[in-house]
């Protein structure tokens, strides 16, 4: 293989190495990107917290109701037990009983409202948990798929690297340095010549120039500086 041919082959290997590396970088980026899942997790947590708060309020109302119920029972026994004969005291007790019934009714309404809220919120927590489950299954599958693609790209890289090294060892230091220097600014430092034109910049080259390149000399395009290569 001529020197320009070797450099062209080196470029092919470098481009393929870069492609595989870009692929791996892109996969790594995707592997770190699971905002949807994190968002669903935090939504479930906050829904659970809101539910717990309302359940706590429900408990407080239930205790207050039990307390009121007990007081009512106690008062009923007094009222209808027959032990109290004093009419004024009885009227007083009747009024107390009436107040208690009204408090009971209002607390019962509070409880009903809270129970309805709890039921709605339990539904929301369930929906959130299901969504999270679905998302984490999808994420798990996606992760598996990404990891497989990543390991395929990594094994390609592992095969290409020694090929590149072996080829580079066959190329003179001077030519390699020129190649690397052009590569700093151009992704493809070697350009093919087709029908007398540099395929890097499309300029028509002097015949003598591409003929030297064809003979295997290290010739650079006078316009774009790329190393010229003819098959």
State in angstroms the smallest separation of the CB of 190 from Zn ion.
Answer: 11
Q: Name residue, tokens 């708060």.
A: 53
115 binds Zn ion (CB under 5 A): no
In the structure encoding, which two tokens stand for residue 160, read together? 């290409």
Q: Whose CA is closest to 19, among 128, 160, 148?
A: 160
State in angstroms the smallest separation of the CB of 13 from Zn ion.
Answer: 22
213 binds Zn ion (CB under 5 A): no
Q: Which is nearer to Zn ion, 112 or 203 (CB)?
A: 203
198 binds Zn ion (CB under 5 A): yes
Q: Distance of CA 177 to CAs 82, 174, 181, Å?
A: 115, 5, 6
DSSP state of 204: B
> Binding-site residue total for Zn ion (CB under 5 A)?
6
Choose which of 190, 221, 227, 230 interacts with Zn ion (CB under 5 A). 221
Q: Whose CA is closest to 11, among 161, 189, 202?
A: 189
In the structure encoding, which two tokens stand for residue 34, read together? 């699971």
- Phi, psi (5° rounding) for residue 206? -60, 140
200 binds Zn ion (CB under 5 A): yes
State in angstroms the smallest separation of the CB of 200 from Zn ion.
Answer: 4
Which residues of this chain interact with Zn ion, rule CB under 5 A? Answer: 198, 200-201, 221, 223-224
């Amino acid at each position: 293989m001529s020197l320009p041919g070797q450099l062209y082959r080196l470029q092919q290997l470098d481009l393929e190495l870069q492609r595989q590396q870009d692929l791996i970088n892109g996969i790594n980026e995707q592997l770190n990107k699971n905002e949807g899942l994190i968002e669903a997790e935090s939504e479930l947590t906050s829904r659970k917290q809101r539910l717990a708060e309302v359940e706590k309020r429900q408990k407080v109302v239930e205790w207050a109701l039990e307390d009121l119920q007990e007081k009512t029972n106690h008062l009923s026994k007094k009222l209808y037990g027959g032990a109290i004969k004093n009419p004024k005291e009885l009227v007083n007790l009747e009024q107390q009983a009436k107040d208690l019934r009204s408090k009971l009714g209002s607390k019962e309404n509070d409880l009903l409202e809270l129970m309805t809220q709890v039921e709605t919120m339990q539904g929301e927590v369930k929906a959130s948990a299901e969504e999270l489950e679905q998302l984490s299954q999808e994420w798990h599958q996606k992760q598996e798929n990404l990891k497989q693609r990543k390991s395929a790209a990594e094994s390609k890289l592992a095969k290409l690297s020694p090929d590149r090294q072996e080829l580079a060892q066959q190329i003179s230091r001077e030519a390699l340095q020129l190649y690397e220097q052009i590569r700093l600014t151009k992704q493809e430092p070697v350009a093919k010549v087709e029908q007398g034109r540099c395929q890097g910049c499309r300029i028509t080259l002097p015949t003598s120039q591409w003929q030297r390149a064809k003979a295997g000399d290290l010739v650079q395009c006078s316009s774009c500086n790329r190393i010229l290569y003819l098959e």
